[in-house]
């Protein structure tokens, strides 16, 4: 009685492993743009909330200024404007539209309320995702 595997059994097992690996890589590549876009939207919403919290904690106006297609800044506007953070979007993600935010900015007063509500749309290839800023200061990521 032989112990071990025959050459045919090893080759068949390797073939099955290669097929499964190919399917996994293909599936990952097809969902990768969505993953990158969701990550960028989460980072943007976190940065908007950060500006809101800074306004609340320092009792000074803070803003997020959008510079399409790929950049935004967090700034403090009192007593003079100074930049806290500049972010450039990566991986071919762009700010495709900004609605409801005149001057392409959202300004938070010292109690954390935004001066206006609006939506920032991010896109990568054909995929899009929105970051909504509500009048109450609530910020949410909304897939399309």
Mean pLDDT for each 10-residue chunk of the chain (144 residues)?
83 96 89 92 97 96 96 93 95 95 95 95 94 94 87
Helix (H) or strand (E) holding 75, with range, is: strand 71-76
Q: How many domains does the chain have?
A: 1
At residue 3, the pLDDT reads 79
CB 48 within 8 A of CB 64: yes
**Boundaries of domain holding 89:** 7-143
Confidence (pTM):
0.82
Whether 40 maps to a domain, the answer reads yes
Whether 1 maps to a domain, the answer reads no
Indicate which CATH number applies to the domain containing 122: 3.55.40.10
β-pairing verdict for 71-76 and 105-108: unpaired
CB 107 within 8 A of CB 63: yes
């Amino acid at each position: 009685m032989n112990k071990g595997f025959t050459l045919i059994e090893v080759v068949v097992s390797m073939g099955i492993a290669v097929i499964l690996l190919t399917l996994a890589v293909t599936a990952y590549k097809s969902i990768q743009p969505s993953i990158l876009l969701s990550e960028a939207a989460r980072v943007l919403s976190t940065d908007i909330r950060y500006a809101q919290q800074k306004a609340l904690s320092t009792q000074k106006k803070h803003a997020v200024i959008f510079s399409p297609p790929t950049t935004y800044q967090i700034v403090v506007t009192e007593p003079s404007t100074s930049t806290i953070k500049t972010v450039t979007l990566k991986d071919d993600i762009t700010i495709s539209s900004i609605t409801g935010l005149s001057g392409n900015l959202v300004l938070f007063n010292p109690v954390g309320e935004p001066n206006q509500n609006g939506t920032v749309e991010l896109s990568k290839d054909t995929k899009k995702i929105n970051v909504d800023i509500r009048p109450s200061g609530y910020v949410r990521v909304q897939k399309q």
